[in-house]
A = this chain, B = another copy of it.
Amino acid sequence: MKMIDVHTLDAHIKDGMTIMVGGFLGAGTPEMLVDYIVEKGYKDLTLICNDTAFPDKGVGKLVVAKQIGKAIVSHIGTNPETGRQMMAEEMEVELVPQGSLAEKVRCGGVGLGGILTPTGIGTEVEADKTVVEVNGEKFILEQPLHADLALIYASTADEKGNLVYEGSTKNFNPLMAMAADTVIAEVGEVVPVGTLNPDSILTPHILVDYMVKGA
């Protein structure tokens, strides 16, 4: 069975890990899993997420608790604590354009060595990156991101681990489900196998290692 108790998570987490966490400004973030990591105080984590959410919501709580050594995100503007720690050099922040971040996570999950994107050409995003010219046009080579652990949220799961994400909670969740060694899904509801519409399942059960029943 993939269903585990949140208190058994320690078997899968340790200090210094690279973790991906789903969610966009906290929407679609597995809050119970995040809360558990805050409670247990894991530290020096490298966080890959769309943003650092708000101080009291989503992965923002990990920032406030000073558990993040490095954040790879597209936006930190809604969490002043991220900016403060970055300026004070208490935390490293790597800003990635959101579309490139999505593709980098996807690359990590789908076995590609990178993608060529026009996004960021002529900006500071080019710095330290390889620029490739194809047919006279310049592209930035964005390389894959892969994590030790992905923490994702899905509204509904079947007992086998197929996941359906409601509305705008999808965001990075289905991408991260492909791109980590271990994938743990916090799920809102669990239904019998065969109940979900097989055309609405964005994450097939073969990608999900464990599930925790969320609120």
Contacts and interface: CB of A to CB of B under 8 A. Distances in A.
Q: How many copies does the complex hold?
A: 2
A99 B200 CA distance: 22
Interface in A112-151: 112-118, 132, 134-135, 137, 139, 141, 143
Contacts of A132: 113-114, 132, 141
Given A164-B199, A200-B197, A134 B113 contact: yes
Contacts of A111: 117-118
Contacts of A139: 112-114
A81 interface: no
A25 to B, nearest CB: 20
A114 B113 contact: no
Contacts of A137: 113
Interface in A83-135: 103, 107, 111-118, 132, 134-135
Contacts of A164: 199
Given A132-B132, A143-B134, A199-B167, A115 B115 contact: yes
16 contacts: A111-B118, A112-B116, A113-B117, A113-B118, A114-B115, A114-B132, A114-B134, A114-B139, A115-B115, A115-B116, A116-B141, A132-B141, A164-B199, A167-B198, A197-B197, A197-B200
Q: Which 7 A/B pairs are nearest by Cβ-Cβ distance?
A: A113-B116, A113-B139, A200-B200, A114-B116, A199-B200, A113-B134, A112-B115
